[in-house]
Chains A and B, each alone.
Chain A
Amino acid sequence: MSAPYTGQEMMAIATGREVQDGELAIFGVGLSMLAGFFAQAHHAPNVRAMTEGGVYGATPVGGLPWGIECNRISANATSFTSALDALGCLVASGRCDVGVIGAAQVDKFGNVNTTAIWDGDGVIGDRYRLPKTRLNGAGGANDIACGAGRFIIMAAHEAKRFVDKVSYISSPGYLTGGDARSRYGFTGGGPSAIITTLGILRPDPDSKEFRLDGWFPFSSIEEIRANTGWNLKVAPDARAVPEPTPEELAALRRVDETGALRRK
């Protein structure tokens, strides 16, 4: 018997639920864009969506865009501007309400690594030694993490990705926790949630350490804790996340017309 929806679809819907109608929102390419345009198709018709390249007013055509500037996202735009405008004037300025970014590694304070993986214990050391595996770098995620009112991190929930401390901070979460962000003059408030393939983590209001806030219907507290590399605390009001409604699934599948989230 096949499940009525996939884990990836649950993750995209849970992320989309974080986006409110009317917000100025910036989505990266891939999963986060699907989550954002799902929100627009379902409960946030007036979300003002933009890409970091300065494509405004567009919705994807013909499937998941290959890139944030490719023809699938450039076919019905109402404005083309630039990176300086999108990431600078609209994000670094503090105007953007919410951003969605991905992570190869994320730690308990919501710091994100998308730059590289180092061998051994993963600690780089004083000398910036060569990585075992080079990844994609920060892209616009550092700028979103510094400037957006809040941001949401999407990551596959595996112990190797959910680490106590990332090897390299590509995009800052709450750094060492507490009010550590405040000394840098960031216009943005930091990560509001980590949406994973198993559930949702949110920061403790004081320590800023991420705690389990909800588990997806097909997961459990035990499974999530077992796949987290730090001693994950459970928020007092943690609960099961409601499964996708038929309306949500239908809206997501209209956006994900090539079925990228339904493949394994």
Chain B
Amino acid sequence: MPPGKLIPLSEAVRRYTRDGMEYASGAALPVGSDAIVFGRELLRQGRKDLHAIFHCNSQQLNLLAAAGAVAKAECGFSGLEVFGFANGLRRAVESGRLELEDYSNLSMTLRLLGGALGWPFVPATVNVGSDIQDRSAFAPDEYPCRSKIATVTDPFSGREIGALRPLIPELAAIHVSLADPLGNTIMLGTEWSRFELSRAAKRVVVIADAIVDTACMRQYPNLVRIPDLVVEAVVWWPFAAWPQSSPGLYDVDEAHMKLMNQALATEAGTAGYLRDFVESYDDIGGYLDIIGRDTVAALSRGPTSFLLDPYRSWILPPEVLQ
């Protein structure tokens, strides 16, 4: 393994996570880039009572919630876009097993930005006047709630606006397209709120689909939005966001998105999913086997494959990394 911050996935989870922690991930969208394989490993190591901070739900939170590993969650969006409602999360909320605190996609970003900047609160003209402000799953008896999104008077206009609570998660597991062994990263596709999250979290572990030589970062330094100086550890894991997509590297696995969400709709289905797709591999090779090597090849030839072209020559081969 080249020198730097590269560590195995299992060691990253062992070293940086604990039961009951504020765990942030999913800083992409429900169909996009997310460190889903990190969530699988959290379950493999039996982590529980997590307080999940997911800008948007993804299949990771859906899975963690279905498996009963999450006690509290804060989200801007809790579905799976065109794939429908997130059955695992929904079941956990409806049964009272998981308290889901609702925000919006901008307010989650602003809260991360507030954490990143060390602000006491973030002023906002969104979320006020709606039940996102008035209702709190964490303080259900407070109505209309003002401990979740407080109200302040804009000193310039005199109008009432929102005061959002900053987020400073204990750990952020952030999916990136490319990382070098030092922790410099490139995200292909929208970064969503991964920049803000990387600055808000106390610790950052990046999970990269591919590892590149640092010369790549020196060629494109403008694109390195999460640099090594905020990154604690680097994990290499191909298809880390599967079954979701990673622009430039692989497409969404439509069949598995549906299979997974259907499985997570029931306790029995979830148990089967954990057996077949969480506990069933020992290493990266075994993981790619459960996806199916033909599927891996097909998903790798997507309409965005050309986005990876400028970086291909710097990608380090597996034999160097294992």
Q: Which residues of A contact B (CB under 8 A)?
A: 29-30, 51-55, 61-62, 64-72, 74-75, 80-84, 87-88, 91-92, 111, 115, 124, 126-143, 146-147, 168-172, 175, 181, 183-187
Contacts and interface: CB of A to CB of B under 8 A. Distances in A.
Given A83-B106, A136-B79, A175 B304 contact: no
Leading 8 A-B pairs by shortest Cβ distance: A67-B31, A136-B79, A139-B77, A69-B32, A185-B159, A142-B104, A67-B81, A143-B106
B247 interface: yes
19 contacts: A29-B82, A66-B81, A69-B33, A70-B32, A70-B251, A71-B304, A74-B307, A83-B105, A84-B110, A87-B109, A131-B93, A134-B85, A137-B100, A138-B76, A139-B79, A140-B106, A142-B126, A183-B159, A187-B125
B209 interface: no
**Most interface-central of A88, A134, A181 (chain B CB within 10 A):** A134
B303 A142 contact: no
Contacts of B113: 84
Given A80-B189, A87-B106, 19 more contacts: A29-B82, A66-B245, A66-B254, A67-B252, A69-B192, A80-B191, A82-B191, A84-B110, A91-B106, A92-B106, A92-B124, A111-B130, A127-B143, A131-B94, A137-B79, A147-B106, A147-B126, A169-B132, A185-B128
Q: Chain B at the A interface: mostly helix, strand, loop or mixed?
A: loop
Nearest to A125: B143
A67 B82 CA distance: 6
B54 to A, nearest CB: 11
B192 A54 contact: yes
Given A127-B141, A139-B77, A82 B190 contact: yes
Contacts of B90: 133-134
B302 interface: yes
B55 interface: yes
A62 B94 contact: no
Contacts of A53: 29, 32, 190, 192
B277 interface: no
Contacts of B196: 82, 84
Interface string B244-287: 01010001101001000000000000000000000000000000
A140 B104 contact: yes
B140 interface: yes
A134 B105 contact: no
B83 interface: yes
B112 to A, nearest CB: 9
Contacts of B100: 134, 137
B56 interface: yes
Interface in B211-246: 245
B131 interface: yes
A115 B82 CA distance: 16
Nearest to A126: B143
B140 A127 contact: yes
Contacts of B247: 69, 71, 74
A11 to B, nearest CB: 17
Nearest to A133: B94
Given A83-B192, A142-B126, A143-B104, A134 B93 contact: yes
Contacts of B77: 136-140
Contacts of A64: 82
Contact of A185 (B30, B76, B86, B161): B161
A134 B83 CA distance: 15
A258 B285 CA distance: 35
Interface in B98-137: 100, 102-107, 109-110, 113, 124-132, 135-137
B310 interface: no
Contact of B126 (A30, A52, A146, A183): A146
A91 to B, nearest CB: 7
B311 interface: no
A52 B3 CA distance: 38
Given A68-B29, A70-B32, A147-B125, A139 B76 contact: yes
A185 B106 contact: no
B160 interface: yes
B190 A142 contact: no
